[in-house]
Amino acid sequence: MTLDNLPYWRLSSFYFFNCVALGLMLPFWGLYMHSLGYHAAEIGFVTSLLMITNIFSPPLWGWWADKTGHRLALIRWGAAASVLCFAWLLKDFGLAGMTLAIIACGICWQGINAQFETITLDYLRENSRDYSRIRLWGSVGFVCAVSGGGWLFDRVQLSLLPTLIVFALALMWGSTLTIREATKTTKLRPQTQSLWRRIRQPALITLLLGLMLAYFSHGSYYSFYSIYLEQLKHDKTTMGLLWSLAVLAELLVFALMPLLLKRFSVATILLVSVCATSLRWLGIAFGADWIGILVFCQLLHGLSFSAVHACAIELLYRYFGNDYQGRGQALYYSLCVGAGQATGALVSGWLWELNPTTSFVVSASAAGIAAMLILAALYQPSLSLLRRRPGTGANEQLVRQDMN
């Protein structure tokens, strides 16, 4: 399918409403729990739950979609179930009730994300570097949520938050009803190689561990950044603006990624971005008293999230090819995003009780180690083709031959 025939707005709307819900959840759920009297360890635990479900639900949904062949139908059912599960939180049933509702919602919500990435990549095919032009609308949704939420919650009570998230999830489900699965023009070859044999390459394992640590390093930010700003006497409007600034930088980088991938190798962009991630957490750890440093650190979000995510999607798309794409993306969401963010949130909850600065220093250290692991992985001969720019001969067949 050519880009002219791409259902651009229908695909983009899923990312938009998905990230509206996430943009309400990440900055404000900790504040919401804090307003209900929960402690930091409990906030870190609940924040990690959505991320923990990202460990096992993507492989489960990936296996289910590959087994049945009804990927889009499963996405629709999962989106609808996420609405119903989160609606349970419209009433406070205590920590146990919140735990069960978040887990149930997360299994459905987080499980469908990797499968929708596969739908998008099926439409793009050889134009995979244009993925970021669709995904950037997720950033638009996030910035609308955090900026609008910051303004709103300075004027109304945080008790409205669960209702808004349910509404956003309902719109996300509605967006899945407007699209259909891409018609594939090439027949996939029989999968003669097990997924385990494909992923047990030492260089790939090292790369995935590096990406996992990069996501781990975001634990303090996603769980406690808003609480940190509140402790520094910033109002919720300022919080929303700082979160919005980060997502505007994220949006800009997503928009520029096709051009950057034409000019620089994926390895170069990824390594620079992970190093910038470490610098960002150090800036927040030691310079949070200065608004200029906070602004600079938020601008680095364009690299620490957008560039890292887009590069990871591109690398895994090349590595797994069409034959294993669904489960390859599920592996990324499970191990890197899910396990990385979940452990980061849990560890940050423990560290925050000791000292906020220590929590962000640990995040910076994790990002630094991630950069070293990614450097070691991408410069192994077995992954050499993944370093090339799209269109320079790094096709899927060559990658498969090089790694078998």
Residue 185: is its pLDDT beyond 50? no
Tell me, what DSSP letter sits at residue 155? Answer: T
pLDDT in the model for residue 189: 47
| Position 354 confidence tier, pLDDT thresholds 50, 70, 90 | confident
Q: Is residue 311 part of a domain?
A: yes
Of the ranges 23-27, 136-140, 300-304, 328-332, which one carries the lowest mean pLDDT score?
A: 328-332
- Structure confidence at residue 190 (pLDDT): 47
Single-letter code of the amino acid located at 287:
G
How big is the chain by its Cα radius of gyration, in Å?
20
Q: Which of 135-144, 159-168, 346-355, 393-402 has the lowest mean pLDDT?
A: 393-402
- The CA distance from 326 to 115, in Å, is 6
Q: What does the mean pLDDT of the chain come to?
A: 83
Span 22-37, average pLDDT: 86
Residue of 179 and 274 predicted with greater confidence: 274
Q: Which residue has the higher pLDDT, 313 or 403?
A: 313
Which range (108-112, 224-228, 232-236) has the least confidence?
A: 232-236
Reported as a pLDDT band with limits 50, 70 and 90, residue 195 is low
pLDDT at 186 over 50: no
Q: What is the CATH number of the domain that holds 174?
A: 1.20.1250.20
Q: Where are the alpha helices (DSSP H) in 71-130?
A: 71-87, 94-124
pLDDT at residue 194 greater than cutoff 80? no
Q: What does the pLDDT read at residue 322?
A: 62
Please give the average per-residue pLDDT across 119-134, as a whole number. 76
Q: Given pLDDT bands bounded at 50, 70 and 90, which one contains residue 173?
A: very high
* Global model pTM greater than 0.75: no
Q: Which pLDDT band holds residue 103 (cuts at 50, 70, 90)? A: very high
104-127 mean pLDDT: 83
Contacts made by residues 68-71, CB under 8 angstroms, sequence distance 24+: 71/115, 71/118, 71/119, 71/181, 71/326
Encode pLDDT of 30-81 as tens digits.
Answer: 889 888 888 877 887 887 787 788 788 888 887 788 777 788 999 999 999 9
Residue at 42 is within a domain: yes
Does 3 map to a domain? no
Q: Which of 355, 265, 371, 345 is nearest to 43 (CA)?
A: 345
Greatest mean pLDDT range, 120-124, 262-266, 299-303: 299-303
- CA gap 397, 300 in Å, rounded: 35
Residue 200 DSSP label = T
Give the span between the Cα atoms of 106 and 46, in whole angstroms.
11
Q: 150 vs 324, which has greater pLDDT?
A: 150
Range of the domain at 380: 13-181+197-403
Q: What is the pLDDT of residue 114?
A: 79
| pLDDT-derived band at 183, boundaries 50, 70, 90 | low
CB-based contacts of 402, cutoff 8 Å, min separation 6: 382, 384, 385
**Residue 397, pLDDT above cutoff 80:** no
Cα(367)–Cα(369) distance, integer angstroms: 5
Q: Does residue 186 lie in a domain region?
A: no
What's the domain count of the chain? Answer: 1
Q: Identify the burial level of 44 via C-beta atoms within 10 angstroms of its C-beta, where 0-12 means exposed, 13-18 middle and 19 or more buried.
A: buried
Euclidean distance between CA atoms 248 and 227, whole angstroms: 21
Is residue 8 domain-resident? no
Cα torsion through 89, 149, 9, 182, rounded to 10: -30
Other beta carbons within 10 angstroms of residue 398's beta carbon come to: 13
CA distances from 302 to 54, 110, 120, 297, 299 (A): 22, 22, 22, 10, 6
What is the model's pLDDT at position 187? Answer: 45
177 has a pLDDT exceeding 60: yes
pLDDT of residue 248: 85
Assign 3-class secondary structure to the chain. CCHHHCCHHHHHHHHHHHHHHHHHHHHHHHHHHHHCCCCHHHHHHHHHHHHHHHHHHHHHHHHHHHHHCCHHHHHHHHHHHHHHHHHHHHCCCHHHHHHHHHHHHHHHHHHHHHHHHHHHHHHHHHHHHHHHHHHHHHHHHHHHHHHHHHHHHCCCCHHHHHHHHHHHHHHHHHHHCCCCCCCCCCCCCCCCCCHHHHHCCHHHHHHHHHHHHHHHCCHHHHHHHHHHHHHCCCCHHHHHHHHHHHHHHHHHHHHHHHHHHHHCCHHHHHHHHHHHHHHHHHHHHHHCCCHHHHHHHHHCHHHHHHHHHHHHHHHHHHHHCCCCHHHHHHHHHHHHHHHHHHHHHHHHHHHHHHCHHHHHHHHHHHHHHHHHHHHHHHCCHHHHHHHCCCCCCCCHHHHHHHHC
Residue 2 confidence (pLDDT) above 70: no
- pLDDT over 60 (residue 220): yes
